[in-house]
Amino acid sequence: MGTGYRAPRWLPGGHLQTIYPFFFLRQRSPRYQRERWDTPDGDFIDLDWVDGPPVAPLLALFHGLEGNSASPYAAAVMHAVSRHGWRGVVVHFRGCSGEPNRLPRAYHSGDADEIDWILKRLNGRAAQAPLFAAGVSLGGNALLKWLGRERTQAARVVRAAAAISAPVDLMTAGDRLSRGLNLGYGDLFMRTLKAKSLAKLQRFPGSYDGEKLRRSRTLREFDNLVTAPLHGYRDTDDYWTRASSKSDLAHIETPTLIIHARNDPFLPGPYLPAAADVSPSVELDFPDGGGHGGFVSGPFPGNLDWLPARLLAFFAKHAATGW
């Protein structure tokens, strides 16, 4: 972080850090301009843009599970991008922009194929300016998987990347979401996931067992019934094993920052990758506080300034001179 950097004063508690922004630090979204893209397989995604000079760097942000451009972290990052004079875009995964997508498939933690075509198209929109990519939680894991899979090709598409609170070990994170205090977060996800999936079942009868879905209580059960079979995985164990990005980190060739709080309730310090697990292109930043994608700092009631500043400082090092 450089000479004179002072560690932030974190709001205490991993669980409090995680849930606090959604209830107490909601931010007004920037003035987005929405654009719809057709996908290669006949579906669509929606992208929310923050304008800037056409020669300015472009930062693409991939949200987390059931997130969107109004999520507190997304709004905070895009406000900072706008203040910095850059361009920004929040990429919505299928079905997350407020309108059901066209196909049975949705999105998942290992969706490197989706990341691939989106970033390649965004690279064309960036023109001669650098393209940066960041992903939060699920979006971070999918981005890391793409970076490790594509290696040199990824480095030709994006100048630098960052993953925030990415569950790089999905087996551990998924199981932790199914017990203890984390059950509350799992319940929040399950409410919208089940509602969307039951609505989709009316349009695509027989895609999965609706009665079992109604009885499901955990993400493990949901992924076994819906996510895994719809996206080419045998079951939850197969999905969580193959979609985890931890084994891909050693192959990343793009300058990449991984930010993850040691008190993250889903994937805490003991389960995080070590320096020996990642390539020389990867920088690890594991602050003691921050929870899961919260990173609320400063005196009470706190603010969401730390994460956008950390991201933009990292990306600015890799941008063209003058930005």
- The answer to whether 260 and 18 have CB atoms below 8 angstroms apart is no
Token pair in block for residue 149: 């899979």
Q: What percent of the chain is helix, strand and coil (3-state, nearest 5)?
A: 40, 15, 45
Query: What gap in Å lies between CA 112 and CA 149, rounded to an integer?
Result: 8
User: Exactly one of 29, 264, 281, 297 is catalytic; which is it?
Assistant: 264
DSSP label of 92: P
Residue 59: other Cβ atoms inside 10 A: 31
Give the DSSP letter string of 205-251: TTSS-HHHHHH--SHHHHIIIIIHHHTT-SSHHHHHHHH--GGGGGG
Query: What gap in Å lies between CA 248 and CA 284, rounded to an integer?
Result: 15
Residue 177 phi/psi, 5-degree rounding, is -70, -10
Task: List the alpha helices (DSSP H) in the chain.
Answer: 14-24, 72-83, 112-126, 138-150, 152-157, 170-176, 183-203, 210-215, 219-222, 228-230, 236-243, 306-316
User: Exactly one of 69, 71, 97, 137 is catalytic; which is it?
Assistant: 137
User: Exactly one of 84, 248, 292, 297 is catalytic; which is it?
Assistant: 292
**292 annotated active-site:** yes
Token pair in block for residue 107: 């999105």
**137 annotated active-site:** yes
Token pair in block for residue 137: 């939680």
Crossing angle of the two packed helices 72-83 and 14-24, in degrees rounded to 10: 70
Choose among 16, 6, 4: nearest CA to 261.
16
**264 annotated active-site:** yes
Query: What gap in Å lies between CA 317 and CA 69, rounded to an integer?
Result: 25
Non-local CB neighbours of 141 within 8 Å, separated by 6+ positions:
109, 110, 135, 163, 166, 167, 168, 170, 243, 244, 245
Residue 68 phi/psi, 5-degree rounding, is -165, -170
Residues designated catalytic: 137, 264, 292
